[in-house]
Amino acid sequence: MGTRTRLRPVLMTASVASLGFLPMALSHGSGAEVQRPLATVVIGGLLIATFLTLFVLPILYILFEKTHMKSKVSTPLKTVSIFLFLLVGNSLSAQQIMTYDEMISVGKNQNLHLKQARFETAYHQKNNRSNLGLAPTDFSVEFGKINSDLFDEKISVVQKIPFPTYFQKQRNVNQQRIKKAKMQEKLGEQVFEKKIADQYVAWQYWQLKQAILKKNLKIYEDFLAKASLRFQKGESNRAEVSMAKIRFQNLKNEAVFIQSQLQSICWNLQNLLQIEEPIEPKTEQDFFLPQKQIGTTSAQIEVEKEKLLINQMQVDVEKTKRLPEFSVGYFNQSFKELNDKRYQGLMVGVAVPLFSGSIRSNIESAEVLVQMQENQLQIEQKNWSNQVQQINNEIDALDKVLTSYQSVQWPETQLLQQTISQQLLSGEINYLDWVVQNDQVIQIQNQFADQLLQRNQSVITFNFLTNE
């Protein structure tokens, strides 16, 4: 009766509101770009709310009712309601799965720091002709007794022109600043790729740790059940059960921690890509990152070289200020005492910087900046060379260790776990001995994951340093 009574009012209420917004949803006139999305959202919300009110809520009510109605719920009805509930839940918590290359592509378009670097490049490109223009043209008008006791007027136009070599020197500086900005942009992209790669290998690391933990968690869960059964039969003591519970709970706590680390990586990637949707990296089968060949330089060193060239060119610009400056002009004036005609002429001048103490100081300071940048470049080159060699040696050592793990230790740990489990079931060893030996197996497996993470992080740093 309740359904019959409320069906018509609910449908009428939703229909009236939906039909009222229908003209907005179908409009194409002025303001339609604002009205149509609003109307679509409202109509969709009303339809979904009506569906939930008429179907989902009654199903859930019937499903969870604790009275006699509980016995009347059929299995298909339960299945449908649970499916709808899970569907809604999954839609709210769904994460976008992206590969490494997809994250790089999206991040280069969305990351604000990379956009800032591109803006800086565009700024220098637009500012390419700065400092290349002439000084403002001087216009002057004179009135009064210029030539005689009579009232005359004089009009003058004067233009100052720097020494011709100044423009070429300044143009070279501007072009070099553009090259430096582009190199900075490239370096920023490489830093971004390194950050994505760091998060990606961290995701692989915690995924591997999680896989190791899940396997051992299942083992400890099984043995906890067996230990409890043995205790009930009087075949073991309470200490064995307590130890099994403690160890099993420790592994569950570790599982929670690993899940939090994975979630943190997802947040970090979302922040790096600066997108609204949650993101999850797509796990690759190959956990070993490829190592590039050792290069001759890096983007950071190239940036330092560009800074050095700019400083050297700036010295040349400062030296041009010691050269003379020319001026040309035109004048037109009256001479009423002589006649009513106007007289005109041209002016040519040369300005020589006789007092050039400030210019000399600017040149010397610019030369000091060149020396500072040369020293900084040498520091960067030596640090780069030492760091590349050190990391390369570290990668070689870790590759040997991981090869040993894969060929010897990892298979042996699998065999050891099977052996000690059989020995425990047969009574050859007690539970304490089994825990000690199994913990050693877990430790070796986790060491493999730790060494793999260290190796991949070193490869990422190596590839970043050798990426020209």
Q: Please write down the HEC assignment for all residues of 230-263.
A: HHHCCCCCHHHHHHHHHHHHHHHHHHHHHHHHHH
| C-beta neighbour count of 399 within 10 angstroms | 15
- For the chain, how big is the Rg over CA atoms in Å? 40
Number of other CB atoms surrounding residue 244 within 10 Å? 23
Once rounded to an integer, what is the mean pLDDT over residues 298-303? 87
Residue 261 and residue 274 in contact, taking contact as beta carbons nearer than 8 Å: no
For position 14, what pLDDT does the model report?
67
For residue 454, the model assigns a pLDDT of 92
Whole-angstrom distance, CA of residue 345 vs CA of residue 338: 17
Domain ranges of the chain: 2-94, 103-130+162-321+356-465, 133-161+324-355
Indicate the range of 225-234, 314-323, 394-403, 447-456 predicted with least confidence: 225-234
Write out pLDDT tens, residues 350-383. Answer: 988 888 788 889 999 999 999 999 999 999 999 9
User: Is residue 306 within 8 Å of 176, Cβ to Cβ?
Assistant: yes
Binning pLDDT at 50, 70 and 90, where does residue 394 land? very high
Burial class (CB in 10 A: 0-12, 13-18, 19+), 405: buried
CB 185, CB 121: distance < 8 Å:
yes
CA nearest to 296, candidates 381, 422, 213, 223: 381
* Tens of pLDDT, residues 57-76: 677 767 666 544 444 434 44
Q: How far apart are CA 332 and CA 258, in angstroms?
A: 87
Q: CA separation (Å) from 299 to 181, 302, 303, 444, 465? A: 12, 5, 6, 39, 8
CB 356 within 8 A of CB 419: no
Rounded distance, CA 400 to CA 393, Å? 11
- H-run or E-run covering 455: helix 431-465
What is the C-alpha separation between 425 and 80, in angstroms, rounded? 44
Query: 268 Cβ partners below 8 Å, 6+ apart?
Result: 199
Q: Which of 25-34, 323-332, 440-449 has the lowest mean pLDDT?
A: 25-34
Mean pLDDT value across residues 187-195: 90
How high is the pLDDT of residue 244? Answer: 77
The string of pLDDT tens digits covering residues 89-118 is 443 345 688 888 888 888 888 888 888 889
Tens digit of each residue's pLDDT (9 = 90 or more) over 21-55: 677 667 665 555 545 666 676 677 777 777 777 67
Question: Can you tell me the distance from the alpha carbon of 244 to that of 428, in angstroms, rounded to the nearest whole number?
Answer: 18
Alpha-carbon distance 456 to 395, whole Å? 8
pLDDT at 427 > cutoff 80: no
pLDDT at position 212: 87
Query: Residue 39 and residue 68: Cα distance in Å, rounded?
Result: 44
d(CA 405, CA 414): 12
Kindly indicate the confidence band of residue 235, based on its pLDDT and cuts at 50, 70 and 90: low
- Is residue 339 within 8 A of residue 401, CB to CB? The reply is no
Side chain identity, residue 108: K
pLDDT at 253 over 80: yes
The answer on pLDDT for 299 being more than 60 is yes
Inform me whether the pLDDT recorded for 156 exceeds 90.
yes
Q: Is the pLDDT of residue 197 over 50?
A: yes
Higher pLDDT, 83 or 407: 407
d(CA 441, CA 448): 11
Any idea which fold 103-130+162-321+356-465 has? Answer: Outer membrane efflux proteins (OEP) (1.20.1600)
| Cα separation values, 87 from 47, 82, 464, Å | 17, 8, 43
Answer yes or no: are the C-beta atoms of 48 and 56 closer than 8 Å.
Answer: no
Backbone angles phi, psi at 66, to 5 degrees: -90, 0
Residues 431-444 have pLDDT tens digits of: 778 878 888 888 88
Torsion of Cα atoms, 306 then 310 then 311 then 317, to 10°: 170
Q: How confident is the model at residue 217 (pLDDT cuts 50, 70, 90)?
A: confident
Identify whether the C-beta of residue 157 lies closer than 8 Å to the C-beta of residue 332.
no
pLDDT at 162 over 70: yes
Mean pLDDT of the region 132-147 = 85
> Is residue 215's pLDDT more than 70?
yes
Q: What is the pLDDT of residue 85?
A: 38
Question: How far is it, in rounded angstroms, from Cα 94 to Cα 83?
Answer: 16
Q: What is the DSSP letter of 137?
A: P
Amino acid at 406: Q
Residue 136 has pLDDT above 50, yes or no: yes
Burial 6-20 (b: 16+ CB within 10 A, else e): eeeeeeeebeeebee
- Give, rounded to a whole angstrom, the gap between the first and last alpha carbons of the chain: 77
Q: Using CA atoms, how far apart are residues 13 and 235, in angstroms rounded to an integer?
A: 69
Q: Which residue has the tokens 């560009």?
A: 306
Mean pLDDT rounded to a whole number for the chain: 80
- The secondary structure of 175-205 as a DSSP string is HHHHHHHHHHHHHHHHHHHHHHHHHHHHHHH
Between the CA of residue 187 and those of 117, 268, 300, 372, what are the distances in Å?
A: 9, 21, 7, 22
